[in-house]
Amino acid sequence: MKKLLTDTGERIIPEKMKITNELLIEHVARYHFASHYVHGNVLDFACGSGYGTHIIAKNCKDKIEQIVGIDNDEDVIQYAKSTYYHPKSEFILGDVTEPSLPDKLDRTFDFILSFETIEHVAEEKQFLENIYHLLNPGGTLILSTPFGKGRNIPSGSPFHVHQLTVDEFHHLFTEFDYATVDYFFQKGALIVPEDAKRDHYFPLGIAVCKKVK
Protein backbone atom coordinates (compact mmCIF):
# COMPACT_ATOMS: atom_id res chain seq x y z
CA MET A 1 0.00 0.00 0.00
CA LYS A 2 2.94 2.34 0.64
CA LYS A 3 3.94 2.38 -3.04
CA LEU A 4 0.37 3.17 -4.07
CA LEU A 5 0.31 6.27 -1.92
CA THR A 6 3.77 7.63 -2.74
CA ASP A 7 4.43 6.70 -6.38
CA THR A 8 1.21 7.41 -8.27
CA GLY A 9 2.50 7.75 -11.85
CA GLU A 10 -0.79 8.00 -13.72
CA ARG A 11 -2.71 6.56 -10.79
CA ILE A 12 -5.41 8.98 -9.63
CA ILE A 13 -5.59 9.15 -5.83
CA PRO A 14 -7.61 12.25 -4.95
CA GLU A 15 -6.52 12.22 -1.30
CA LYS A 16 -2.91 12.67 -2.44
CA MET A 17 -3.52 15.35 -5.10
CA LYS A 18 -4.24 19.07 -5.12
CA ILE A 19 -7.79 20.09 -6.05
CA THR A 20 -6.31 22.13 -8.94
CA ASN A 21 -4.50 19.14 -10.47
CA GLU A 22 -5.62 19.04 -14.12
CA LEU A 23 -5.31 15.26 -14.39
CA LEU A 24 -7.59 14.85 -11.38
CA ILE A 25 -10.08 17.38 -12.74
CA GLU A 26 -10.45 15.66 -16.12
CA HIS A 27 -10.79 12.20 -14.57
CA VAL A 28 -13.46 13.31 -12.10
CA ALA A 29 -15.30 15.18 -14.88
CA ARG A 30 -15.76 11.96 -16.87
CA TYR A 31 -17.49 10.22 -13.98
CA HIS A 32 -19.82 13.18 -13.47
CA PHE A 33 -20.53 13.08 -17.23
CA ALA A 34 -21.32 9.37 -16.99
CA SER A 35 -23.61 9.87 -13.99
CA HIS A 36 -26.21 11.41 -16.31
CA TYR A 37 -26.47 8.11 -18.21
CA VAL A 38 -26.08 5.23 -15.78
CA HIS A 39 -28.78 3.07 -14.26
CA GLY A 40 -29.24 -0.54 -13.20
CA ASN A 41 -26.13 -2.65 -12.73
CA VAL A 42 -22.88 -0.84 -13.54
CA LEU A 43 -19.31 -2.06 -14.09
CA ASP A 44 -16.29 0.25 -13.72
CA PHE A 45 -13.78 -1.58 -15.92
CA ALA A 46 -10.26 -0.95 -14.55
CA CYS A 47 -11.47 1.20 -11.67
CA GLY A 48 -8.07 2.11 -10.23
CA SER A 49 -8.20 3.45 -6.68
CA GLY A 50 -12.01 3.46 -6.71
CA TYR A 51 -12.80 7.18 -6.51
CA GLY A 52 -14.87 7.08 -9.72
CA THR A 53 -16.82 4.03 -8.65
CA HIS A 54 -17.63 5.94 -5.48
CA ILE A 55 -18.76 9.03 -7.42
CA ILE A 56 -21.28 6.90 -9.32
CA ALA A 57 -22.42 5.08 -6.17
CA LYS A 58 -23.02 8.38 -4.36
CA ASN A 59 -24.45 10.45 -7.22
CA CYS A 60 -26.61 7.71 -8.71
CA LYS A 61 -27.71 5.73 -5.66
CA ASP A 62 -31.37 6.21 -6.56
CA LYS A 63 -31.08 4.84 -10.10
CA ILE A 64 -28.47 2.06 -9.89
CA GLU A 65 -28.77 -1.39 -8.40
CA GLN A 66 -25.04 -1.80 -7.86
CA ILE A 67 -21.69 -0.69 -9.23
CA VAL A 68 -18.75 -3.09 -9.40
CA GLY A 69 -15.19 -1.80 -9.73
CA ILE A 70 -12.60 -4.22 -11.11
CA ASP A 71 -8.83 -3.79 -11.37
CA ASN A 72 -5.80 -6.08 -11.64
CA ASP A 73 -3.81 -4.27 -8.93
CA GLU A 74 -4.37 -5.85 -5.53
CA ASP A 75 -3.10 -2.76 -3.68
CA VAL A 76 -5.57 -0.38 -5.32
CA ILE A 77 -8.45 -2.79 -4.76
CA GLN A 78 -7.59 -2.94 -1.06
CA TYR A 79 -7.29 0.86 -1.03
CA ALA A 80 -10.68 1.22 -2.70
CA LYS A 81 -12.32 -1.15 -0.22
CA SER A 82 -10.89 0.72 2.76
CA THR A 83 -11.40 4.27 1.42
CA TYR A 84 -14.57 4.26 -0.69
CA TYR A 85 -17.12 2.06 1.02
CA HIS A 86 -20.70 2.43 -0.16
CA PRO A 87 -23.55 -0.07 0.25
CA LYS A 88 -24.11 -0.10 -3.51
CA SER A 89 -20.48 -0.61 -4.53
CA GLU A 90 -18.22 -3.65 -4.69
CA PHE A 91 -14.53 -3.93 -5.62
CA ILE A 92 -13.11 -7.05 -7.28
CA LEU A 93 -9.57 -8.09 -8.22
CA GLY A 94 -9.41 -9.16 -11.87
CA ASP A 95 -7.66 -8.74 -15.21
CA VAL A 96 -9.82 -6.88 -17.75
CA THR A 97 -7.97 -8.59 -20.64
CA GLU A 98 -8.36 -12.15 -19.34
CA PRO A 99 -10.44 -14.17 -21.86
CA SER A 100 -12.23 -16.07 -19.09
CA LEU A 101 -13.22 -12.91 -17.19
CA PRO A 102 -16.91 -12.87 -18.33
CA ASP A 103 -17.31 -16.45 -17.10
CA LYS A 104 -15.54 -15.70 -13.82
CA LEU A 105 -17.74 -12.69 -13.07
CA ASP A 106 -20.83 -14.76 -13.97
CA ARG A 107 -23.00 -11.66 -14.39
CA THR A 108 -23.72 -8.98 -16.96
CA PHE A 109 -24.26 -5.24 -16.71
CA ASP A 110 -26.53 -2.48 -17.99
CA PHE A 111 -23.66 0.02 -18.10
CA ILE A 112 -19.90 -0.38 -18.41
CA LEU A 113 -17.51 2.51 -17.83
CA SER A 114 -13.91 2.32 -19.03
CA PHE A 115 -11.98 5.54 -18.64
CA GLU A 116 -8.35 6.02 -19.73
CA THR A 117 -7.66 2.28 -19.91
CA ILE A 118 -7.44 1.10 -23.50
CA GLU A 119 -4.23 3.08 -24.16
CA HIS A 120 -2.57 0.90 -21.49
CA VAL A 121 -3.73 -2.37 -23.06
CA ALA A 122 -1.75 -4.40 -25.61
CA GLU A 123 -4.57 -6.97 -25.88
CA GLU A 124 -6.99 -4.37 -27.26
CA LYS A 125 -9.31 -6.79 -29.08
CA GLN A 126 -9.71 -9.08 -26.06
CA PHE A 127 -10.35 -6.07 -23.85
CA LEU A 128 -13.17 -4.87 -26.13
CA GLU A 129 -14.58 -8.40 -26.51
CA ASN A 130 -14.76 -8.78 -22.73
CA ILE A 131 -16.67 -5.52 -22.48
CA TYR A 132 -19.09 -6.57 -25.20
CA HIS A 133 -19.78 -9.97 -23.60
CA LEU A 134 -20.32 -8.39 -20.19
CA LEU A 135 -22.77 -5.79 -21.52
CA ASN A 136 -26.48 -6.60 -21.53
CA PRO A 137 -28.46 -6.27 -24.78
CA GLY A 138 -29.52 -2.63 -24.97
CA GLY A 139 -26.78 -1.72 -22.48
CA THR A 140 -24.37 1.18 -22.79
CA LEU A 141 -20.59 1.43 -22.81
CA ILE A 142 -18.89 4.76 -22.07
CA LEU A 143 -15.18 4.64 -22.94
CA SER A 144 -12.52 7.34 -23.04
CA THR A 145 -8.93 7.60 -24.24
CA PRO A 146 -6.34 10.27 -25.08
CA PHE A 147 -5.53 10.94 -28.73
CA GLY A 148 -2.03 10.54 -30.13
CA LYS A 149 0.06 9.39 -33.10
CA GLY A 150 -1.74 6.11 -33.58
CA ARG A 151 -1.76 2.39 -32.96
CA ASN A 152 1.65 0.68 -32.63
CA ILE A 153 3.47 4.04 -32.49
CA PRO A 154 5.19 4.94 -29.19
CA SER A 155 3.27 7.75 -27.50
CA GLY A 156 6.05 9.20 -25.39
CA SER A 157 4.28 8.12 -22.21
CA PRO A 158 5.95 5.26 -20.33
CA PHE A 159 2.51 4.16 -19.15
CA HIS A 160 0.83 3.87 -22.58
CA VAL A 161 1.13 1.12 -25.18
CA HIS A 162 0.03 3.70 -27.76
CA GLN A 163 -2.50 6.48 -28.19
CA LEU A 164 -5.13 6.21 -30.91
CA THR A 165 -5.72 8.81 -33.58
CA VAL A 166 -9.18 10.36 -33.80
CA ASP A 167 -9.86 8.23 -36.89
CA GLU A 168 -8.79 5.02 -35.13
CA PHE A 169 -11.01 5.93 -32.20
CA HIS A 170 -13.96 6.28 -34.58
CA HIS A 171 -13.30 2.79 -35.97
CA LEU A 172 -12.70 1.13 -32.59
CA PHE A 173 -16.23 -0.26 -32.26
CA THR A 174 -17.04 -1.29 -35.85
CA GLU A 175 -16.48 -5.01 -35.22
CA PHE A 176 -19.16 -5.04 -32.55
CA ASP A 177 -22.93 -4.84 -32.80
CA TYR A 178 -23.61 -1.42 -31.34
CA ALA A 179 -26.82 0.26 -32.46
CA THR A 180 -25.42 3.77 -31.95
CA VAL A 181 -22.07 5.30 -31.07
CA ASP A 182 -22.00 8.97 -30.05
CA TYR A 183 -18.67 10.75 -29.78
CA PHE A 184 -17.60 13.53 -27.43
CA PHE A 185 -14.36 15.44 -26.97
CA GLN A 186 -12.80 16.55 -23.71
CA LYS A 187 -10.31 19.17 -22.57
CA GLY A 188 -9.95 19.52 -18.81
CA ALA A 189 -13.42 19.59 -17.27
CA LEU A 190 -15.06 20.57 -20.57
CA ILE A 191 -16.81 17.77 -22.50
CA VAL A 192 -18.57 18.65 -25.77
CA PRO A 193 -20.39 16.65 -28.48
CA GLU A 194 -18.34 15.82 -31.55
CA ASP A 195 -20.46 18.03 -33.79
CA ALA A 196 -20.10 21.08 -31.54
CA LYS A 197 -18.02 23.92 -32.93
CA ARG A 198 -14.50 23.62 -31.52
CA ASP A 199 -12.01 26.44 -31.76
CA HIS A 200 -9.29 24.54 -29.94
CA TYR A 201 -7.79 21.05 -30.02
CA PHE A 202 -9.42 18.58 -27.65
CA PRO A 203 -6.90 15.92 -26.57
CA LEU A 204 -9.33 13.30 -25.28
CA GLY A 205 -12.20 11.34 -26.78
CA ILE A 206 -15.27 9.77 -25.18
CA ALA A 207 -17.57 7.27 -26.90
CA VAL A 208 -21.08 6.41 -25.71
CA CYS A 209 -21.98 3.08 -27.33
CA LYS A 210 -25.47 1.58 -27.18
CA LYS A 211 -25.56 -2.19 -27.72
CA VAL A 212 -28.35 -3.62 -29.85
CA LYS A 213 -31.28 -5.10 -27.93
Task: Return the CATH number at 124.
Answer: 3.40.50.150
**Mean per-residue pLDDT over the chain, rounded:** 93
Range of the domain at 105: 2-211
Instruction: Say what the pLDDT of residue 98 is.
Output: 97
Q: Look at 99 and 5; give whichever has higher pLDDT.
A: 99
Model confidence at 182: pLDDT above 70: yes
Is the separation of the CB atoms in 166 and 137 below 8 Å?
Answer: no
For the segment 69-79, the average pLDDT, to the nearest whole number, is 96
Quote the number of domains for the chain.
1
Nearest Cα to Cα of residue 113 among 48, 187, 158: 48
Residues 6+ apart with CB under 8 A from 101: 94, 95, 130, 134
Instruction: Say what the pLDDT of residue 2 is.
Output: 35
Query: What would the pLDDT profile of 140-161 be if each residue is shown by its tens digit?
Result: 999 999 999 999 898 878 889 9
Residue 5 is classified by DSSP as: H
